[in-house]
């Protein structure tokens, strides 16, 4: 299954701070004017600039998805600690292509089928994740400011650490994208639910989330689906990977035979791209797809997907 491209989704979006945010740099800048806690920076064609690493956003997405999945069923998301037997990466070390009657394809199917639902999207040490993020760069001017703080001792109620200063981003807009490959429909539902939670202020990013920092707004600009060419795919449906596989592969990978999203809006553009059909949806159309995919999560929560 994973050696072929059955479907993909590319979401392009903008991100802007609602409250101040801080993604801390791991190093020390040569600029002595910058605060102790500096916003992460990189060099671009326009010189040095603040940016938001894709890894920072992916970690937030995975953390929230795991909470949702464990709420439905504790077995839907493993504990992400390599020393625990329940961690998928450690549990699946026993699946070996050198074992009798095992081929590489059989091993790939076993690893995917036996991975928890969180790992099926985000991956583990034996399985590549389906979801990836680009770094986000500003598409206009940004503004940062310096905030000062101290740490208060809970015993003496005096200053324990500090004062310290930190650089927070207070204004600006960033452009980025995410790509989801070979997805099942419930993957779309979790992705849409996380986007909704971010925009509702439930999920925050960066440092100091319990201090009022980290609330952002993510606005989807465009959604592009690519579906493998197969006769009989209505434009009112989006097919998950289960619809493209035969019965044997569905059983081996543990995917549903009714893996599709129905009653989706008509795309604004359809392109024939070699072996793929590319459908493009604008922001308003994505909003309808988002609602439908979140509603489809009911089947997952009931254990039917």
Q: What tokens does 150 get?
A: 């101290």
Return the pLDDT at 305: 57
What confidence category does residue 226 fall into, taking pLDDT thresholds of 50, 70 and 90?
Answer: very high
Return the pLDDT at 279: 96
Region label for 82, one of left (φ > 0), alpha (ψ between -120 and 50) or beta (otherwise): alpha
Helix (H) / strand (E) element for 122: namely helix 117-122
Q: What is the dihedral of CA 55, 58, 64, 65, to 10 degrees?
A: -140
How far is it, in rounded angstroms, from Cα 1 to Cα 244? 9
Domains in the chain: boundaries: 7-71+123-301
What confidence category does residue 7 fall into, taking pLDDT thresholds of 50, 70 and 90?
Answer: very high
The predicted-structure confidence for 112-145, as pLDDT tens digits, reads as follows 999 999 999 999 988 999 999 999 999 999 999 9
Q: What tokens does 205 get?
A: 């990013």
How far is it, in rounded angstroms, from Cα 128 to Cα 299? 25
* Residue with the larger pLDDT of the pair 35 and 291: 291
Residue 157 CB burial class (10 angstroms; 0-12, 13-18, ≥19) = exposed
Is 209 a residue whose pLDDT tops 70?
yes
Cα dist from 167 to 25, 52, 103, 160, 286, whole Å: 10, 14, 53, 21, 35
Would you say 87 and 124 are in contact if contact means Cβ atoms under 8 Å apart? yes
Is 304 a residue whose pLDDT tops 60?
no
- As a whole number, mean pLDDT of residues 213-223 equals 96
Return the pLDDT at 131: 96
Is 153 a residue whose pLDDT tops 90?
no
The predicted-structure confidence for 63-80, as pLDDT tens digits, reads as follows 999 999 999 889 999 987
The phi, psi pair for 121, rounded to 5°, reads -95, -50
Name every residue whose Cβ is closer than 8 Å to that of residue 59 and which is 6 or more positions away in sequence.
none
The phi, psi pair for 258, rounded to 5°, reads -115, 45
The predicted-structure confidence for 249-282, as pLDDT tens digits, reads as follows 999 999 999 999 999 999 999 999 888 999 999 9
Is 30 a residue whose pLDDT tops 70?
no
Exposed e or buried b per residue across 102-133, where buried means at least 16 C-beta atoms within 10 angstroms of its C-beta: eeeeebbbbbbebbbbbbbbbbbebbebbbeb
DSSP for 214-228 reads --EEEEEEEEEEEEE
């Amino acid at each position: 299954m994973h050696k072929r491209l059955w479907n993909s989704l590319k979401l392009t979006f903008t991100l802007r701070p609602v409250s101040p945010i801080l993604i801390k740099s791991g190093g020390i800048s040569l600029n002595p004017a910058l605060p102790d806690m500096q916003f992460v920076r990189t060099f671009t064609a326009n010189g040095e600039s603040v940016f938001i690493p894709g890894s920072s956003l992916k970690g937030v997405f995975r953390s929230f998805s795991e909470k949702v999945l464990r709420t439905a069923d504790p077995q839907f998301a493993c504990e992400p600690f390599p020393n625990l037997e329940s961690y998928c990466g450690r549990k699946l070390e026993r699946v070996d292509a050198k074992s009798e009657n095992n081929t590489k394809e059989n091993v790939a199917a076993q690893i995917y089928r036996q991975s928890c639902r969180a790992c099926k999207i985000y991956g583990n040490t034996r399985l590549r994740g389906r979801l990836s993020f680009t770094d986000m760069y500003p598409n206009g001017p940004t503004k940062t400011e310096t905030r000062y703080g101290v740490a208060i001792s809970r015993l003496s109620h005096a200053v324990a650490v500090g004062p310290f200063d930190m650089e927070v981003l207070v204004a600006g807009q960033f452009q980025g994208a995410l790509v989801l490959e070979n997805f099942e429909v419930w993957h779309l539902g979790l992705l849409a639910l996380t986007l909704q939670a971010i925009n509702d202020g439930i999920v925050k990013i960066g440092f100091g989330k319990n201090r009022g920092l980290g609330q952002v707004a993510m606005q989807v600009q465009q959604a592009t689906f690519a579906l493998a060419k197969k006769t009989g795919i209505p434009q009112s449906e989006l097919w998950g990977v289960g619809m493209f596989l035969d019965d044997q592969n569905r059983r081996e990978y543990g995917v549903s035979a009714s893996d599709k999203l129905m009653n989706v809006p008509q795309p604004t553009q359809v392109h024939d791209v070699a072996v793929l059909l590319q459908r493009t949806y604008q922001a308003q159309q994505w909003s309808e797809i988002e609602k439908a995919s979140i509603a489809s999560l009911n089947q997952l929560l009931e254990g039917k997907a």
